[in-house]
């Protein structure tokens, strides 16, 4: 074990102890964050417009600050992007993280000198918790790869602009620089196919110990490695023992990953967003990710079934419960206020507060009043795949409201790696699980308003072709796993397996 690895273990245990110290005082920790946010932002344009000077309690805050999405804050963000100071947060931001919105076009999310360090420390702490739990830091001596967007940044009125993953690439600590792959030149390649080919060339003969990225794109990297070398990932990288991921539910990809890797490994889930690094998996022994209550973000939670009401309930951390689907709302040191990032979460433990992402509040199917959510379709697919050798590459679900004949149904577009022997039986398993989870869906099937779901097989590589066709291939782009309309489904019809 190197000196670096030896020192990492006591440092990891120190950090873990410090994290759990605030995690054991969640309400007090969030109250301190809340008071600091109000105090620091009261002289900003937003603070003046929303009476921050007189806000003393969370009840005062709710009375003065509405829940909004990007469009609701856009008039303020546009002023920040134009170069104005002290608008949403004091001074000017360090960066704008550029993201693509479904209704807002390009979105510019500010990152400030107060918020940026929390992104870095949370990612670091996720690895340190793993070291502390395993009492093993040997992986720090190997090579590490983080599949991410280009680190090339643009200038936007004196503020650097780029993708979040590209911005974060500038913050890799010096002690890891020699271990980091791919090279800067390769990371700057924009075309994703070319980039992954270059990463394969750079890494196939290296001692890779840490691999991180969005599962669908890492899977592509693994497939290209296997195609080029004829070996599994574990044969190429025998010291590779855990995968770091975020952005999607990993369960649908797990069977395929373990087939490509050639052995079972550990997984560390992260919940990073441009708006803030919200949570990370702090233990292999517990379900869910530790909510970052001490990272300059004050959280609010709205029960998902109330979200579209005129006056939905807004809760702070002290009032949340297990088993409830919540829309998560952020207030941050980057100047986001009452900000709905669109995600729904559920608490898995309350001591400490751990969460799992259950879907997107706008990604659901309720064409017939069934209100199917992401968590349900993901679990149904997992249930159907259990104790089988079925592997999938990708999937998405949409309603078929007006079929050529017969009753309407939910159409599941699935790209199989290993197909089930009996597709109808596989579809029935999924449908049975959906009916058990969702009483409204059950009633619609029983009442013959809907017929059981139909699986449409997407050809190998079809989802990648679809993403290319809409100009969103690679990087941080992900396909929604369900939607309430046919926008995606109608295009995917062009990428189905033909008889």
What count of Cα atoms within 13 Å lies in the side-chain half-sphere of residue 449?
Answer: 12
> With bands split at pLDDT 50, 70 and 90, how would you rate the model's confidence at 100?
low
Answer yes or no: is pLDDT of 322 > 80: yes
Q: What is the extent of the structural domain holding 446?
A: 374-495
Report the DSSP pairing between strands 297-303 and 289-291: unpaired
Check if the beta carbon of residue 144 is closer than 8 Å to that of residue 254. Answer: no
Together in a domain, 395 and 349: no
Say if 453 falls within a structural domain: yes
**Residue 340 C-alpha from the chain's centroid:** 15
Say if 222 falls within a structural domain: no
Answer yes or no: is pLDDT of 402 > 90: no
> With bands split at pLDDT 50, 70 and 90, how would you rate the model's confidence at 249?
confident
For position 371, what pLDDT does the model report? Answer: 77
Domain count, the chain: 2
For position 203, what pLDDT does the model report? Answer: 93
Per-residue pLDDT tens over the stretch 3-30: 788 899 999 999 999 999 999 999 999 9
Answer yes or no: is pLDDT of 102 > 60: no
- Quick check: helix, strand or coil at residue 138? helix
Together in a domain, 92 and 185: yes
**Which range, 256-260, 365-369, 423-427, has the best average confidence (pLDDT)?**
423-427
Answer yes or no: is pLDDT of 113 > 80: yes
> With bands split at pLDDT 50, 70 and 90, how would you rate the model's confidence at 161?
very high
Q: Which of 359, 392, 422 is the last residue of a domain?
A: 359
Say if 147 falls within a structural domain: yes
Indicate the helix (H) or strand (E) that contains 30: helix 26-41
> With bands split at pLDDT 50, 70 and 90, how would you rate the model's confidence at 135?
very high
Average pLDDT along the chain: 90
Say if 484 falls within a structural domain: yes
For position 148, what pLDDT does the model report? Answer: 76
Say if 228 falls within a structural domain: no
Check if the beta carbon of residue 272 is closer than 8 Å to that of residue 301. Answer: no
Answer yes or no: is pLDDT of 103 > 60: no
Q: Give percent of the chain above pLDDT 90.
A: 64
Together in a domain, 29 and 124: yes
Say if 213 falls within a structural domain: no
Together in a domain, 62 and 194: yes
Together in a domain, 342 and 381: no
Together in a domain, 157 and 92: yes
Together in a domain, 74 and 148: yes
Q: Which of 334, 359, 384 is the last residue of a domain?
A: 359
Together in a domain, 353 and 467: no
Say if 208 falls within a structural domain: no
Together in a domain, 347 and 410: no
Q: Which of 359, 385, 417 is the last residue of a domain?
A: 359
Together in a domain, 314 and 189: yes
Say if 331 falls within a structural domain: yes
Per-residue pLDDT tens over the stretch 284-304: 999 999 999 999 999 999 998
Residue of higher predicted confidence among 62 and 447: 62
Together in a domain, 167 and 75: yes
Per-residue pLDDT tens over the stretch 192-233: 788 889 999 999 999 999 999 888 778 889 989 999 999 999
CA dist 459 → 253, 381, 418 (Å): 17, 18, 12
For position 177, what pLDDT does the model report? Answer: 72
For position 319, what pLDDT does the model report? Answer: 97
CATH number of the domain encompassing residue 385: 3.30.300
Together in a domain, 308 and 447: no
């Amino acid at each position: 074990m190197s000196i670096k690895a030896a020192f990492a273990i006591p440092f990891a245990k120190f950090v873990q102890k410090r994290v759990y110290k605030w995690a054991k005082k969640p309400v007090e920790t969030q109250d301190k964050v809340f008071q600091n946010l109000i105090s620091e932002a009261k002289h900003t344009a937003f603070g003046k417009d929303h009476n921050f000077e007189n806000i003393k309690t969370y009840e005062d805050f709710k009375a003065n600050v509405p829940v909004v999405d990007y469009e609701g804050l856009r008039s303020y963000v546009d002023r920040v992007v134009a170069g104005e100071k002290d608008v949403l947060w004091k001074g000017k931001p360090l960066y704008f993280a550029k993201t693509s919105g479904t209704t807002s076009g390009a979105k510019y999310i500010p990152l400030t000198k107060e918020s940026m360090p929390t992104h870095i420390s949370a990612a670091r702490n996720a690895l340190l918790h793993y070291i502390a739990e395993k009492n093993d830091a040997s992986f720090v001596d190997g090579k590490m790869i983080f599949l991410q967007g280009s680190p090339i940044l643009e200038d936007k009125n004196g503020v650097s602009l780029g993708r979040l993953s590209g911005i974060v690439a500038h913050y890799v600590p010096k002690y890891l620089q020699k271990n980091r792959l791919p090279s800067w030149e390769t990371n700057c390649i924009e075309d994703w196919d070319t980039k992954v080919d270059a990463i394969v060339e750079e890494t196939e003969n290296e001692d890779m110990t840490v691999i991180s990225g969005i599962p669908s794109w890492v899977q592509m990297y693994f497939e290209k490695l296997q195609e080029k070398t004829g070996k599994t990932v574990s044969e190429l990288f025998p010291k590779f023992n855990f995968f770091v991921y975020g952005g999607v539910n990993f369960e649908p990809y797990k069977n395929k990953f373990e087939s490509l890797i050639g052995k079972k490994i550990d997984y560390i889930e992260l919940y990073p967003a441009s708006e803030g690094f919200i949570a990370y998996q702090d233990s292999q022994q517990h379900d869910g990710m530790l909510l970052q209550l001490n990272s300059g973000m004050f959280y609010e939670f709205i029960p998902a079934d109330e979200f579209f009401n005129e006056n939905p309930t807004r809760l702070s951390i002290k009032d949340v419960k297990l088993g409830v689907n919540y829309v998560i709302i952020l207030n941050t040191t980057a100047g986001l206020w009452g900000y709905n990032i669109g995600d729904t979460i559920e608490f898995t433990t309350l001591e400490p507060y751990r969460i799992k992402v259950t879907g997107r509040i706008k990604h659901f199917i309720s064409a017939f009043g069934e209100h199917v959510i992401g968590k349900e379709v993901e679990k149904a697919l997992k249930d159907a795949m259990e104790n089988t050798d079925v592997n999938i590459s990708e999937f998405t679900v949409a309603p078929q409201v007006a079929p050529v004949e017969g009753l309407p149904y939910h159409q599941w577009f699935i790209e199989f790696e290993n197909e089930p022997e009996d597709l109808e039986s596989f579809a029935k398993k999924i449908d049975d699980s959906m009916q058990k989870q969702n009483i409204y869906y059950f009633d619609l099937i029983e009442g013959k308003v809907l017929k059981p779901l139909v699986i449409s097989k997407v050809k190998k590589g079809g989802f990648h072709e679809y993403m290319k066709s809409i100009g969103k291939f690679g990087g941080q782009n992900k396909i929604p796993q369900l939607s309430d309309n046919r926008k995606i489904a109608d295009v995917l019809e062009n990428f189905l397996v033909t008889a």
